[in-house]
Structure 1
Amino acid sequence: MPSRVLSPDAVEPVAWRNGAGATRQLVDDPGGWRLSVADLEVDAAFSDFTGLDRVFLPLVDVVLSIDGERRAVARGTAVEFRGEAKVAVELVAGPGRAVNLMTVRGRCSGGLAAIPRSEWEEQTARSEWDEGQPGVFVDLGEVVVEVRISYST
């Protein structure tokens, strides 16, 4: 059984650091990682988070501009980039949400994977999750996002 299933709807939104939107912070772990769900309502630049590595998983189709390179990103696809990169998101399919994972470079790293709810429920019922490393999951309705954290040694 998963160790933690988090719901962004149980958390009050707060303004983004750059004032261009809102986020719901789910985890701020002293071990060096932060997990949040952003409400994407308009095209916007991302805030600078020098020294952190980021994983961004949109739940709608978007175009990301990362250091001037435009890249179409399909919903449910995770993209990794450095926190100091110049990043902007363009909403091509309208408003939606995105899961954001930030890790302290050199202390830990992480990943995100979107799992259809039906598949997640089947795997949970059969206890197929790695017992040695129980996961953190974000419940987003039709999709559940698995969060993986690895600590540097």
Structure 2
Amino acid sequence: MPSITRLSPADHRRVPWKNGGGVTTELAVEPSGDGRPDGRPDGCFVWRVSIADVVEPGPFSAFPGYDRLIAVVEGEGMRLSVDGAPPVERRRLDPAFAFPGEAAVWCEPTAGPIRDVNLMLDRASAAGMLTLLAGSAAHRANVHRAAGDVLLVHALAGMLTVTPEDGEALTVPAGHSLLLHGAEALVEAPAGAEGVCAEILRR
């Protein structure tokens, strides 16, 4: 049975980085439960969507066994070097960059602090995608049809519209999110609005 939950900034949780280099804002997470058979510690998750501020160059925390997707949502952009490979540059609202959580990653903002959004997925139990929407730029997507076992739609600016299949349109104001389980939806970013949509599929 499809379910829809509204999340406000009051539902967010501030979590220190594993490497101690900063703090991330957890928008939504699905814990994986206790007693994992693979030996990883309790407190792991099936998936997590978060936003973090990066103010200076530094390494990413290691998340063995996870797949990560990251995109810049504020600031000029960043360069990422994964396992010593040539740096990859991502600008604000560019398509998400995917990399394995166990990789050694060095991040360098290109021109001052940035804010990024992260989707992390337990590789053994989930896969997914991260889509950026912007209603003010013609060359970027402003409408996205999302499908998955779990959808997390977060408004970065303005007001997003989310229309579940066979349902009524719902609005999502800036800083708020909509969490949908077992539902497909049309996500729209009108002029002046920006947002991100995470789609999670269980393996």
Instruction: Name the structure 2 match of 1:51.
Output: 65
CA distance in 2, matches of 1:5, 1:117: 22
User: What is residue 145 of structure 1 aligned with on the other side?
Assistant: 196
Partner of 1:25: 26
Q: Percent identity?
A: 35
Q: 1:74 offset after TM fit, Å? A: 2.0
What TM-score, normalized to structure 1?
Answer: 0.80
TM-superposed deviation, 1:139? 1.6
User: Cα–Cα, structure 1 residues 35 and 134, in superposed 2: closer, same or farther, change >3 Å?
Assistant: closer
Deviations 1:43-94 (A, max 9, x none): 1200110001111111241100111111111222201111100011100021
> CA offset at residue 131 of structure 1?
7.7
TM-aligned CA distance change 1:132 to 1:38, over 3 Å = closer
Give the Å deviation of 1:30.
3.1
Distance in 2 (CA, whole Å) between partners of 1:19 and 1:132 is 33
- Give 1:74's aligned amino acid: R
> Which protein has greater RCO, CA pairs closer than 8 Å, 6+ apart?
1
Secondary structure at 1:140's aligned position in 2? strand
- Shift in alpha-carbon separation, 1:116–1:82, aligned structure 2, 3 A: same
2:64 aligns to what SS in structure 1?
coil
Q: Provide Cα deviations, 1:7-62, integer angstroms capped at 9, x if missing partner.
A: 56863533211111110011121361111111111112001100011111112411
Count of matched residue positions in the alignment of Structure 1 and Structure 2: 145
Cα contact 1:139–1:145 (8 A) shared by 2: yes
Whether contact under 8 Å (1:67, 1:87) holds in the other structure is: yes
Given the superposition, is the C-alpha separation of residues 39 and 130 from structure 1 closer, same or farther in structure 2, using an over 3 Å criterion?
closer
Q: Which runs of 5+ in 1 are unaligned?
A: none
Extract unaligned runs of 5+ from structure 2.
33-45, 158-192
1:1-150 pair list within 5 angstroms: 3=4, 6=7, 11-30=12-31, 32-59=46-73, 60=75, 61-69=77-85, 70-76=87-93, 77-117=95-135, 129=145, 135-141=151-157, 142-150=193-201
> How far off its partner does 1:136 sit?
1.4
Q: CA RMSD in A?
A: 2.8
Distance (Å, rounded) in 1 between the aligned partners of 2:6 and 2:92? 21
Which is richer in strand?
A: 2
> Does the 8 A contact of 2:148 with 2:200 survive in 1?
no
